[in-house]
A and B are shown apart, each in its own frame.
Chain A
Amino acid sequence: MTFPPVLSLRGISKRFGGVQALLDVELQLRAGEVVALAGDNGAGKSTLIKVISGVGPADRGVIEWEGRLVHIKRPHDAHALGIATVYQDLAMCDNLDVVGNLFLGREIDRVGILDEVEMERRARELMRTLSIRIPDVRMPVAALSAGQRQAVAISRSLMGAPKVLLLDEPTAALGVEQTSHLLDLIEQVRDRGMAILLISHNMGDIKAVADRVAVLRLGRNNGLFDVSTASQEQIISSITGAADNAVAHRTAGTEEAWP
């Protein structure tokens, strides 16, 4: 815990027209640690991920990478630092096969000519090391199930050996078994020393893999909890806002309000 965080955010603010999506948000990610980012719908979780990944840079705020100030203005900047992202919508090219999607934008080539054999070889290797089962890496992703797509999206993000992995609601579209596969995968990746930010709505997932939970509410930090010590009620009331006025609103009914 004495290491400087890999990634540290301070005073991050972002506004969309009349909506203050983020205001003075702080967050720190450490190697080998899973931080869950929780918050109600519209709390700004996806917006924060887009700030870090360079897709939607912040209006204000400071980002430090391994203790030094950096500017992330484009996806390329985040990539170059070693930040990988799996977006909520799992945007992929349905017409391309698994290999094509894994290597999209960083194809292996010789003077512009694709080296399909080498890409396929590495794709298979990656699938094997992550114990991901896909019927065929030459299958178009359109033919894959939701869980398989998720697995491909995560493998894609791990291709460049990143140091930070951002996952936006990765379990939302998955069944029970697929979810547990995914959580295994996350642990496996964490054990390799990666820092992981996991957006999730699911208390079970959070309890299962996260070390800490950072809560956003209406675009602001609303609590940081240690998963091993904090109670589920504490976390939930901080998400729903009951903790804004803890004495008045903390009731036994909060847990049932969880979606």
Chain B
Amino acid sequence: MSGGGSPRDAGTGGGAGTGTATPGRGPRTRGWQRSLKGYADEVRGRVRVGERGPILVVLGLIVIWLIFQSLDDNFLSPRNLSNLSVEIVGTGLVAVGIVFVLLIGEIDLSVGSVSGLSGAVFAVLNVNLGMPEWLAVIVGVASGMAVGAFQGAFFAWLGVPAFVVTLAGLLVWNGLTLYLLGASGTINIDEEGLVASLTSEYFGAMAVAYGLAAIGTAGYLLAALRHRNRNKAAGMPNRPLSEIWVRGGALAVLAFGTAHTLNRFQGLPLALLIFLVVLVVSDYVLRRTRYGRKVYALGGGVEAARRAGVGVERVRIAMFMVSGTLAAIGGLFVASGLTSASPTTARAAGSGMLLINAIAAAVIGGTSLFGGRGSPWSVLLGVLVIQSIASGMALLGVEDSVQFMITGGVLLAAVAADSLSRRAETPGGRPRAG
């Protein structure tokens, strides 16, 4: 983060690395043993508090990919994977919004309708009323934020359960969308415009995708080494250095592999870049800032948070605003993919498919429905699973009816896993808040 400091930090990090490696075979073996034991302890600790590592989901994703690849050998083609990386973004952004609400232990059922609303608001203002595109985008996104503020206030101040407020919202905002589109029917948006480019723009130069992979890997390594050095300076125990390199190596393989695949098609999609930026920023805010700590605290114990001086109502409203805003932005990506806003897609948005996919994406990735656990990154993995299934079934020509049942089943399985891990978390009858 601090431009001048990082290179020097990296230097000392390298030095420390050589230091641990020199003593020879014996200590190094011990180091590895310690690291293995540490890792085992960590996993055990996590299992005890009901956190699932990403390993299972990654394995699941690999299995899904292999199955679809064996059924249709176009599935893992650069073209299809590149398209997948664009298709995940609309649902993914909506799901990131849901994560914010899930973290405080609530739910927002209106996100599908809100995403439809913002697409319609944008299309009506820009195409029908001739408002400049950038302004129409802002108003579309702001409409989602306003909806979130409204629903959040109902919940936080009036004490109406969030699922009821947002269930009503699901119908109301969908009705409003149909009303807005009612006069004109389907509105085709400008295919050369800003919103259309969200899903059609690619950075064709190979350097862009590879550069991003390099920045991501280097950023991770620098941050991890810097943290390690600060820990060391404070005389506190550290994770073994080998762990940082293993994780960094895995990240590098993943990042450069993805970049390579994308470059074999049309390069880095703008949509994917935006999605990654949203993930990085929201993860940073949630896990590294004071404000984010309040959000997690609220999900872990409202009473404790209130006593610690957290403005519970304000944080609650803010989280619904974030979810409304991200739903609206996700809606623009959906409209961009279709280059239109139409009553048909609005009805589809209100039917709950997008909502279910978004919730499933968040929960599959490891965000808990019970609050306080998870992170925006969980969405990346979850939405890849969900969208891979959808895209694979579309490729194979599976009918909607079957797709619905499979998607519903996947959501149910993810939620069941979440509930089971939560049950495992409470070993004895520990006194709980309240």
Residues of A within 8 A of B (CB): 55, 75-76, 79, 87, 89-96, 100-101, 104-107, 109, 112-114, 116-118, 120-121, 124, 136, 139-140, 142-143, 146, 149, 173
Contacts and interface: CB of A to CB of B under 8 A. Distances in A.
B434 A89 contact: yes
Interface residues of B, number: 37
A104 B434 contact: no
Contacts of B426: 142
A100 B293 contact: yes
Given A95-B372, A120-B236, A105 B433 contact: no
Given A91-B433, A105-B310, A96 B303 contact: no
B49 interface: yes
Given A94-B49, A96-B297, A104-B305, 14 more contacts: A93-B297, A93-B305, A94-B372, A95-B300, A100-B297, A105-B307, A105-B310, A107-B293, A112-B290, A117-B230, A120-B234, A121-B236, A140-B49, A142-B426
A10 to B, nearest CB: 26
A234 B234 CA distance: 54
Nearest to A101: B304
Contacts of A142: 48-50, 425-426
B45 A143 contact: yes
Contact of B289 (A112, A117, A149): A112
A55 B300 contact: no
Contacts of A96: 293, 296-297, 300, 372
Contacts of A113: 288-290
B308 interface: yes
Contacts of A76: 309
Interface in B292-338: 293, 296-297, 299-301, 303-305, 307-310
Contacts, number: 105
B301 A146 contact: no
A104 B293 contact: yes
A118 B234 contact: yes
B191 to A, nearest CB: 42
27 contacts: A55-B307, A75-B309, A89-B303, A90-B433, A92-B300, A92-B301, A93-B372, A94-B372, A95-B49, A95-B296, A95-B371, A96-B297, A96-B300, A104-B293, A104-B297, A105-B307, A112-B291, A113-B288, A113-B289, A114-B290, A117-B227, A121-B234, A136-B45, A140-B45, A140-B49, A142-B426, A143-B45
Contacts of B307: 55, 75, 87, 91, 105
Contacts of A101: 304
Contacts of B304: 91-93, 101, 104
Contacts of A120: 231, 234, 236
A160 to B, nearest CB: 12
A116 B372 CA distance: 19
Interface in B54-68: none
Contacts of A104: 293, 297, 304-305, 308
Contacts of B373: 95
Contacts of B23: none
B234 A114 contact: no
B49 A143 contact: yes
10 closest Cβ pairs, A-B complex: A105-B308, A93-B300, A95-B372, A95-B300, A91-B433, A91-B304, A91-B303, A104-B308, A105-B309, A93-B301
A136 B41 CA distance: 11
Contacts of B234: 117-118, 120-121
Contacts of B236: 117, 120-121, 124
B318 to A, nearest CB: 15
Nearest to B430: A146
B431 interface: yes
A79 B309 CA distance: 10
Nearest to A118: B234
Given A104-B305, A112-B291, A173-B431, A93 B296 contact: yes
A75 B312 CA distance: 14
B431 A114 contact: no
Contact of B48 (A106, A118, A143): A143
Contacts of B288: 113-114
Nearest to A137: B236
A117 B223 CA distance: 13
Contacts of B300: 92-96
A73 to B, nearest CB: 14
Contacts of B431: 89-90, 146, 173
A55 B45 CA distance: 34
A117 B236 CA distance: 9
A155 to B, nearest CB: 14
A96 B235 CA distance: 23
A116 B290 CA distance: 11
Contacts of B372: 93-96
Nearest to A76: B309
Interface string B363-406: 00000000111000000000000000000000000000000000
Nearest to B103: A95
Nearest to A93: B300
A94 B49 CA distance: 9
Interface string B196-232: 0000000000000000000000000000000100110
Contacts of B299: 93, 95
Nearest to A85: B307
User: Which among B288, B289, B290, B432 has the greatest number of chain A C-beta atoms within 10 A?
Assistant: B290
A106 B275 CA distance: 32
Contacts of A107: 290, 293
Contacts of A106: 308
A140 B301 CA distance: 13
A136 to B, nearest CB: 8
B305 to A, nearest CB: 7
Contacts of A124: 236
Nearest to A90: B431
A8 to B, nearest CB: 24
A118 B235 CA distance: 11
Contacts of B291: 112
